[in-house]
Chain A
Amino acid sequence: MLRIEDLWVSYGHVQALLGVSLEVERGSIVSIIGSNGAGKSTLLNTISGLVKQERGRIFLTDGIGPDTAKLLPREPYRVVKLGVVQVPEGRQVFPGLTVRENLMAGAYTVNHAGRVRRNLDRMFEMYPILKERARQQAGTLSGGEQQMLAICRGLMAEPKVLLLDEPSLGLAPIIVKGVFDTVRRIRDEGITVVLVEQNANQALAIADYAYVLENGRVALEGEGRALLCDPAVKDAYLGGAQEA
């Protein structure tokens, strides 16, 4: 669904990505784990076009057959129009807009009122709390609710690929579980998911495939389950306390 070839990105003299290549298969969850500052957000922001690469190419391969790959445009709004939608780190809901307005903002690229309404109903069905709070300002929601809102806002764009940047950040464990359930459900609906996480344990557990990013490079890759058992990964990212 996405193919990234030899991506180099820097901020001035800080080199954030050094030749990252990866492949995201259609309909899968691909997790990208790594410690703080490894370049995970930079990777997603480069895919989204918010950050421009110095070198490397990003292809959207949503057609069937090998020669249907097309380069992703570099203007963020055009990336979204092609169905690659990011839910940013820290949720970034619009605090002074209502919950409903936030969702409608997500639907900006969908020019079909009936479909927008249907999608909105689906979100409200999935998360009745959002319906209850539809007229409330998004800034008054709890962290977990804001995360749900941010994900639903992304879904309102009818994405083919959803890029999630640390959706479990700063949330209580019980809410984190709900977030990961949601991610799995999104994949089951046929949406390809790229999940960036520091919460390596659960991110690997639900991943079909995963990459470990270290200092702007891919240090390891493999099936999620396999990485979960990898001793190097265990040491560096899973810590001692490990209960799945």
Chain B
Amino acid sequence: MSSVEFRKDLFADERDDNLKEIGKPTIRQDILGHVTGRTPFYDDHQFDGLLHMRAVRSPHHHAQIRGIDTSAAERMPGVRRVLTAKDVPNNLNTLLSLINFGRDDEPLCAHDKVRFMGETVAWVIADTERQARDAVAAVRVDYNVLPHVLDVEEALQPNAPVVNEVYPNNTFDYNGKYDHQKLRFGDVNKAFAEADHIVEAEYQMSPIEQAPIETCGAIAAPETNDRFVCYTNTQALFFSLGTTSKLLDIASSRLHFIGGTAGGGFGGKVDSIVEPTAVLGAMLTGRPVRFAWDREEEMQVGAPRGGERWRIKDGVMNDGRIIAREFTGFFDSGAYVRLSSYAIVKCTGHIPGPYTIPNVASNIYCVVTNRTPATAMRGFGITAADFAIECHMDRVAETVGMNPIELRILNAYRDGDMKAHRRPAKNTALIECCQVAAGKAAWPISADAAAQSSKVGGGVGERGVIPASVTDEDGKIGDRRAGRSEGTSPSRRGTGKVAAGTRVEAKTEAHMQDPDMALEADRIGHRMGSASTAPPAPAPAATPAPPAPAPVAATPSHPQPTAPVPPAPQVQPSAPVPTPPPAAPEPYQPEQPFQRGLNRPGTSRFTSGFRRR
């Protein structure tokens, strides 16, 4: 029997073990449906006259589309309609545009060129799935094959093919300034010079497919009252609804999404592709339409956890203390950025892993290549870095001749220690995990290591403060392509300094791409701070305009949102501005409820529930 062992002896004083539900075994509420086969997955909803939709897909990694001939396919038996990009009302999106992160860079259906193998170039809707497949085979696409790039570091070379014109440097732009996300904490170069050993290594994680047993799919159908119902296995129902609303330029109030049951997801069902596609089919045929990936599509087109390459350099003392750690990371986002840009922000907040290291630097690149776009998967943004970090810990242990578990306990973070993202660590438990793991594996550790505790010794002296940090301006947007950037790893020549103790304000990621996207308190449902009366202060330290071609409508004329970025730590110490004392937030005021259709003229039709008429 497999069993779970609860170590209630640990942190017992921080926990109430006498709760009614938490900590007690319980039978899943959905399990009766599962064992009787009655759980309604999206495909278990039956419709009369269901039509089947299939995609025509690119056989090339990178090619210009010179022409699409659908005439033969249109004449095939059972075919109701053949669709191409021109049938998509608003054929450009980026997933995180709903939270105003990044630029629209991805069409639902390719029109000018294809950027990865398997990208959609057309769809066929037919009476049976086989008829749809036969017609897909009859669509003729005239391609002009272009050189492609499948390796992250090759994509950063000045002569690499430009994969996605929205990101002309093959990188996502961070903070409107750099072609990578920087983290600077202390002075790694000084510490490397003082270290007894330097341990350097490179780690590579290949893309990983989530491989749910149920592939991505959706069924959409016209409903009464001029709405469309969409049964889907999305993991992000309202995200998919908002995305569909935007791509199809349809009021979200006309979309009736039903989900909540997914045959496995693991992050692979957030990309909101099947939903807009099925709804588009239903809109254009007036019939129920099923759009479901087969297993080959799930593997080839379904976004995996992206590949990552990591280089780690540690400065280590003879006694095992790690005094500096430097990362150079490359996330392969594939042809479209989707969530990779955000994964890097999240990853940066995690660096240098669960260890207290006084000097840390990292450069992480979100690289656009001709691979299948990457997306979320469990431990999103963290897994590969952790794999690299833990492999590296073993290497360090070998170098200094130390028990690898004791090395981890020695360097482990403890409650109150300052993390590199400039927030103190809380509820740490690495030391206890190491002790229990050593016990389970009968791996001997010293009495001293066994006596350590996460709750003792943290935050003491230097451990609890933000050190003075050296900054640099390497890797400005466009420099690399112009041949002006030397390497990819954090700079050896600091040019600036942030005083000890400085927390730099969180900054908006990308410029607002559309004034519509401005976050407005009156559209959120309650007042936030002072935003509803005065426009928020612009982001600190106005940076010079990036040399790269301007993104779509990057007009900085409208007010910057206060913090529309994902709730991950934003570390940007390279712009050393004194922090203004945070304005005291006004209390939460629920008595000002969200009003339907309140939108100002000209505000987004997409980000709120109701469309301006």
Q: A and B from one assembly?
A: no
